[in-house]
Chain A
Amino acid sequence: MTIKEIEKEIIEEFEIFGDDWESKYEHIIDLGKSLPLINLNLKTNDRIIKGCQSNVWLNTDLINDKILYTADSDAIITKGMIALMVRVLSNQKAEDIVKADMDFINQIGLKEHLSPTRANGLLSMINEMKKEALKRI
């Protein structure tokens, strides 16, 4: 699936919840459980994404022309957020990742529930994922 197709799928998933933020967060927490986990011995300091209140580790590989991300976080909601980002951006071409506008975050109504601090955390994650993709173009 393309990035846009996956984003559309996610937007439809979240539409079901409407304004019910509790269900939205429960869903995010659930999504975290399906995050492709980073290898334990790769959880090194140079793989920590700066700008998040919790610890977020990200590993990037280039396999068969596609970028593959694995990650982890010690906070459950953060884990869910990065699982969402990985679902959208992983297994895609590096150029497509770098170009992705990530507007779906607004559309699933999550930006409003993120304080500026946390939004920076989210933006830090996206920037880091794009930066790693750019390195491998």
Chain B
Amino acid sequence: MMDLIKIREQFPILNQKINNCDLIYFDNAATSQKPISVIESISDFYKKSNSNIHRGVHSLSRSASEQFELARKTVANYFNIDNEQQLIFTAGCTDSINIVAQGLAKFHLQKEDEIILSTYEHHSNILPWQLWAKENKGVLKIIPLLANQNLDYDSIEKLITHKTKLIAITHVSNTLGLITDIERIISIAKKHQLPILLDGAQSAPHMPVDLKKLDLDFFVCSAHKLYGPTGVGLLYLSQKWLDKLPVSKTGGGIIKSVSFENTEYADGALRFEPGTPNISGVIGFSNAIKFINNIGITTIFEFEKKLVQYAQKKLREMPEIIMYGESDEKAGVISFNVKNHHPFDIGTLLDNYGIAVRTGHHCTQPLMQDLKIQGTVRISFAIYNTIEEINYFIEKLKKVIKMLE
């Protein structure tokens, strides 16, 4: 049985008061808070082990390199990746998607080709493709939504033509919390021999992601949403793409040999990691994974599911609340609006009670356009949130609504 109090104690930031009220942090879809083990692993690195990696023969450099590659193995294991060389450390999820987009643009994507996205996509999984499309007369085809905001899976095959070259899709909507049936999408992709990029920014922190089971081409996520530091994320490439994807940024550290005439690139993950990486960030990332493993990602998923179900139940009891993407199978996110009120007003007033929510379009403007709204109030959970916090939030939400009437 999970000891919630012991878990909360590991997060120093939760002791803060906002406006003399306890901080209730419901903005985990934006970024998660960090346990002391992650914070200390970063400062410890700088105190005891800091050195550049892969380059030196001295002890510190060897130790730092070992820690870095051990971190790669730890993170790879979490996603059930056998060959950790298929896991590349990047500056974050957005960076990872850009690396794939720019690489594919060099050879796989031709003029007038088509890419399939979904209505759920975060701008980070739209703009890199849109940039390619603008420069190459490419076409973005969008999987529409059903009335209950689930993906219209039946419409996907109709979007595919002989010019379709990629499906890029989110695993969990950061605005609605709905979970994509990725197995179903993979079987469609396989049938048509299409590569898939899966955006796991919002799934990796909240549910198990088994990259051995899911036969994918590209998987991306960020560390900062799963209790790790900002500025680091990962790009998983299937073996085929690890060999084939061209690099778009290059520099020191990724070569076997260099001359002005020609350069032989390193094998494996290193080819994609030019320059000095965010070493402390990678170590923090690895410690965040350890933190999650100590509790168990399935335990986290089940716990957060209960929080979502409870919060939805309480919100459903309020007739002035409109909920989007209501479902019992969600990954820690709820979006709602209060009838006749702007989400900005709700969020501003809740903030004064110490309750941190997110308001606006959540970097999913196309989804907002599809729902015909300007924005929502979003609450998103993590392992340290509680039923008591939800009760307090509901109580204050009712007060806030009264203030605005």
Q: Is A118 an interface residue (CB 8 A)?
A: yes
Residues of B within 8 A of A25 (CB): 348-349, 352, 403
Q: Chain A interface secondary structure, helix, strand, loop or mixed?
A: helix
Q: Is B146 an interface residue (CB 8 A)?
A: no
Instruction: Please give the distance in Å from A110's CB to the nearest CB on chain B.
Output: 11
**Contact call B360/A75, Cβ cutoff below 8 A:** no
Which of B19, B349, B351 has the largest number of chain A CB atoms within 10 A?
A: B349
**Contact call A115/B342, Cβ cutoff below 8 A:** no
Please, what's the 1-or-0 string for A71-96, where 1 marks a CB less than 8 Å from any CB in chain B?
Answer: 00011111000000000000000000
Within 8 A of A (CB), among B333-363: 341-342, 344-345, 348-349, 351-352, 359-360
Given known A21-B352, A22-B352, A25-B349, contact A53–B403 (CB-CB < 8 A): no
- Residue in B344, B351, B352 whose CB lies within 8 Å of A75: B344
**Contact call A29/B404, Cβ cutoff below 8 A:** yes
Instruction: Please give the distance in Å from B375's CB to the nearest CB on chain A.
Output: 7
- What is the bound-complex CA distance between A124 and B384, given in angstroms? 36
- What is the bound-complex CA distance between A46 and B404, given in angstroms? 29
Interface magnitude class on chain A: 10 to 19
Q: Is A54 an interface residue (CB 8 A)?
A: yes
Q: Is A135 an interface residue (CB 8 A)?
A: no
**Contact call A75/B342, Cβ cutoff below 8 A:** yes
**Contact call A22/B342, Cβ cutoff below 8 A:** no
**Contact call A53/B359, Cβ cutoff below 8 A:** yes
- What is the bound-complex CA distance between A49 and B403, given in angstroms? 26
- What is the bound-complex CA distance between A29 and B341, given in angstroms? 13
- What is the bound-complex CA distance between A77 and B352, given in angstroms? 13
Instruction: Please give the distance in Å from A34's CB to the nearest CB on chain B.
Output: 17
Q: Is A13 an interface residue (CB 8 A)?
A: no
Our count of residue pairs bridging A and B at CB distance below 8 angstroms stands at 40
Residues of A within 8 A of B374 (CB): 54-55, 74
Please, what's the 1-or-0 string for A17-32, where 1 marks a CB less than 8 Å from any CB in chain B?
Answer: 0000110011001000
Please, what's the 1-or-0 string for B309-324, where 1 marks a CB less than 8 Å from any CB in chain A?
Answer: 0000000000000000
Residues of A within 8 A of B345 (CB): 75-78
Given known A25-B403, A53-B360, contact A113–B344 (CB-CB < 8 A): no
**Contact call A53/B375, Cβ cutoff below 8 A:** yes
**Contact call B351/A78, Cβ cutoff below 8 A:** no
Instruction: Please give the distance in Å from A31's CB to the nearest CB on chain B.
Output: 14
Residue of A nearest to B356 (CB): A115
Residues of A within 8 A of B403 (CB): 22, 25-26, 29
- What is the bound-complex CA distance between A21 and B404, given in angstroms? 14
- Residue in A22, A29, A77 whose CB lies within 8 Å of B344: A77
Instruction: Please give the distance in Å from B217's CB to the nearest CB on chain A.
Output: 37
- What is the bound-complex CA distance between A22 and B404, given in angstroms? 11
Instruction: Please give the distance in Å from A49's CB to the nearest CB on chain B.
Output: 14
Residues of B within 8 A of A115 (CB): 351
- What is the bound-complex CA distance between A77 and B350, given in angstroms? 13
**Contact call A113/B352, Cβ cutoff below 8 A:** yes
- What is the bound-complex CA distance between A76 and B403, given in angstroms? 11
Residues of A within 8 A of B351 (CB): 113, 115
**Contact call A53/B352, Cβ cutoff below 8 A:** no
Which of B19, B342, B374 has the largest number of chain A CB atoms within 10 A?
A: B342
Residues of B within 8 A of A77 (CB): 344-345, 348-349
Residues of B within 8 A of A78 (CB): 342, 344-345
Residues of A within 8 A of B352 (CB): 21-22, 25, 113
Residue of B nearest to A112 (CB): B19
Residue of B nearest to A113 (CB): B352
**Contact call A76/B341, Cβ cutoff below 8 A:** yes
- What is the bound-complex CA distance between A67 and B349, given in angstroms? 32
Residues of A within 8 A of B349 (CB): 25, 77
Closest 3 CB pairs of A and B: A75-B342, A75-B344, A53-B344
Known: A53-B344, A118-B348. 4 other contacts (CB 8 A): A21-B352, A78-B345, A113-B19, A113-B352
A-B contact pairs, 28 of them (CB 8 A): A21-B19, A22-B403, A25-B348, A25-B349, A25-B352, A26-B403, A29-B403, A29-B404, A53-B359, A53-B360, A53-B375, A54-B342, A54-B344, A54-B374, A55-B374, A74-B374, A75-B344, A75-B345, A76-B341, A76-B342, A76-B345, A77-B344, A77-B349, A78-B345, A113-B19, A113-B352, A115-B351, A118-B348
